[in-house]
Amino acid sequence: MNNEQLINESGRFAVEYRLRERERFLRTLIGNLPGVVYRCRTDEKFTSEFISDGCFELTGYTADELTRVRAATWDEIIHAEDRERVRAEINRSMNDNTALNAAPLQIAYRIVHRDGTIKHVRDRFRFINDAAGKIAALEGFIADITEREIADERVRESEARYRLLAENMCDLVCLHETDGRYVYVSPSSLELLGFSPDELIGTSLYDYMHEEEIACVRDDTHAAAQRRNRYNRYLPDAPKIRRIRLARINGANSRR
């Protein structure tokens, strides 16, 4: 083997080594992502062509079961109540002439784990075209957002209970910004103040307060905000009780 052949052979080995290292790096990166990297066809079953090992934790199926054995298709894993919506959104996007050049698309839906557990996921993907310029596949990343969805649902339930309680109390229940602007007012405001909740939202509580009370209430609000910023903004202050005079629409004052 002459020198020229040795140089060519050495260069080929170097290129092959770099390719192997790149593939190894990508496998390591994909394998450590907290979710699923995938490529699938655009057929009715969203047949998987590639799916990362993270699919096992998310679905209970191995990558081999989803790509070779075909133990399940992604379409079958999608929750039955969400399946048609997901198909419709993808088909609608595929029919958009700008789909190939668009930013990554995003769909949230539920899937059913192999053990029957329902999970919430966010699917972020792009359309991939073939040599003829036609859409041939989807490539994307699926993240498990179940814990966040559960937390959001608990917040919604808590807010619903709070609203039910507030709207059936005789006392005034309100929520306002630190500058005094109302963002929520219970229906009892009409009886107590002479203003409906719609009339109060966006206005300031100081507009309906006796002028001699305003400075003290402002000071209390400012002090409470300072304490939360200094110690722990996520922990509520202990309730502070103050009797104040509020102006009614007829001009009379009421002590509350």
Digit-coded pLDDT (tens) for 109-139: 999 999 999 999 999 999 888 888 788 899 9
Residue 209: per-residue pLDDT: 79
Asked if the domains at 33-149 and 167-255 fall in one CATH topology, the answer is yes
pLDDT in tens, 173-196: 888 787 888 888 888 888 877 888
Helix (H/G/I), strand (E/B), else coil: 254: strand
| Integer Cα distance of 145 and 90 in angstroms | 20
Residue 255: per-residue pLDDT: 41
Is this structure's pTM higher than 0.85?
no
CATH number for the domain formed by residue range(s) 33-149: 3.30.450.20
Compute CA distances 167 → 50, 141, 154, 223, whole Å: 53, 43, 20, 29
Residue 134: per-residue pLDDT: 83
Domain parsing of the chain, residue ranges: 33-149, 167-255
DSSP labels, 143-197: EE-HHHHHHHHHHHHHHHHHHHHHTT-SS--EEE-TTSBEEEE-TTHHHHHS--H
Residue 62: per-residue pLDDT: 93
| Integer Cα distance of 135 and 128 in angstroms | 6
CATH superfamily of 167-255: PAS domain (3.30.450.20)
What radius of gyration do the chain's Cα atoms show?
30
Give me the residues of the chain with pLDDT under 70, please: 1-33, 97-102, 225-242, 246-256
- The answer to whether the beta carbons of residues 125 and 139 sit under 8 Å apart is yes
